[in-house]
Amino acid sequence: MAVYTEVPREQAEALMRQLGLGELTEFTGIEGGIENTNYFATTTQGRYVLTLFERLSAAQLPFYLYLMRHLAERGIPVPAPHANAKGELLLAVQNKPAAVVERLSGKSQLAPEPAHCAALGDMLARMHLAGRDYPSQQPNLRGLAWWNETVPVVLPYLTPAQASLIASELAYQNHVAGTAAYAALPRGPVHADLFRDNAMFEGERITGVFDFYFAGVDTFAFDLAVCLNDWAIDWRTGAHDAARAHALLSAYQGVRALTRHERELLPAMLRAGALRFWLSRLWDFHLPREASMLKPHDPAHFERVLRGRVDEPRGVDALAASAAGNAAEARAA
């Protein structure tokens, strides 16, 4: 999150009143993230987040906002968007499409333990099941089509070794997408960006997930892989963490068992998730937009993750195998 568009406090005060959310007492820009303009807004009635959408169009946004409402109505802890007097969730602020949602309680666990990963895995599976009857359709806008468009844009900024890796991985993902196994993967609305800073906890209990503005219809296995590539990865080295992967996968499958094709293609989806975020970080790093409070992410992290996923492909069982081995050694000791 960042601030690309400045919103005068007076306009925010008027907006909160129009939505019936009380009198504004605090209004602060949010640092972090790269896509939209975001503010914390505290009123006499509660705590909210105002988002101005800088890239997404008014035609695209109803998919995200009504998905959030759909999931909230089915017990998934997501920030419910607030409607105006006409019942509209999509608003306009400073000539930009905008929304006001509930601010979740708790804090992000940036150094998650297996218990946090288990809570995330359980919630992710429930979210996938809850979204199956969502009627709207919109593809993952940062999926394969975007990768094919964007790789040529970032290639001039890469070293020969990086260019070789990204080109070969893109070719591999295009091949995977054309297989019968990929066509058989279960799919539906997915978050597609559920990193550890997009979930909130109180202790080991997950209180909510947010930032659905990369959501779209894609495979559940890809969404799971995106989570594993963050929650079960060491941020400093990009190395796989088997204990956290085991906790996340076990909890997910306790709610929704993976199909044969999902198990078969999970290594490919782990590579896909790493490619997607390496590519988007390269794009944001080398072709930045002007914004106050903007801090682009280091692209090198997901380059390391991708190399690790290519060099050591792990299936569902292998992802957690070393965790089971470590536990057995601990019991023996």
Domain ranges of the chain: 9-102, 114-332
Burial (CB count <10 Å: 0-12, 13-18, 19+), residue 242: buried
CA angle 281, 317, 182 (to 5 degrees): 60
Is the per-residue pLDDT at 322 higher than 90?
no
Strand partners of residue 201: 107, 206
Q: What is the pLDDT of residue 319?
A: 82
Q: Tokens 């400073």 correspond to what residue?
A: 94
**Phi/psi at 73 (nearest 5 deg)?**
-65, -20
Q: Using 50, 70 and 90 to split pLDDT, how confident is the model at 333?
A: very low
Helix axes 316-332, 242-255, angle to 10 degrees: 120
The domain made up of 114-332 is a member of CATH 3.30.420.40: no
User: Candidates 3.40.50.300, 3.30.200.20, 2.40.70.10, 3.40.50.150; correct CATH number of 9-102?
Assistant: 3.30.200.20
Is the per-residue pLDDT at 204 higher than 70?
yes
Helix axes 300-311, 160-177, angle to 10 degrees: 60
Q: Which residue, among 227, 320, 215, 204, has the nearest Cα to 273 in the 3D structure?
A: 227
Query: CB–CB of 7/50 below 8 Å?
Result: yes
Is the per-residue pLDDT at 329 higher than 60?
no
Give the gyration radius of the chain's Cα atoms: 20
- For the whole model, what pTM was predicted? 0.91
Is the per-residue pLDDT at 296 higher than 90?
no
The whole-number average pLDDT for the span 164-183 is: 98
Q: What is the pLDDT of residue 17?
A: 97
The whole-number average pLDDT for the span 39-55 is: 96
Q: Using 50, 70 and 90 to split pLDDT, how confident is the model at 56?
A: very high
Strand partners of residue 205: 202
Nearest-angstrom CA–CA distance, 156 and 59: 33
Q: Which two tokens stand for residue 169?
A: 């991985």
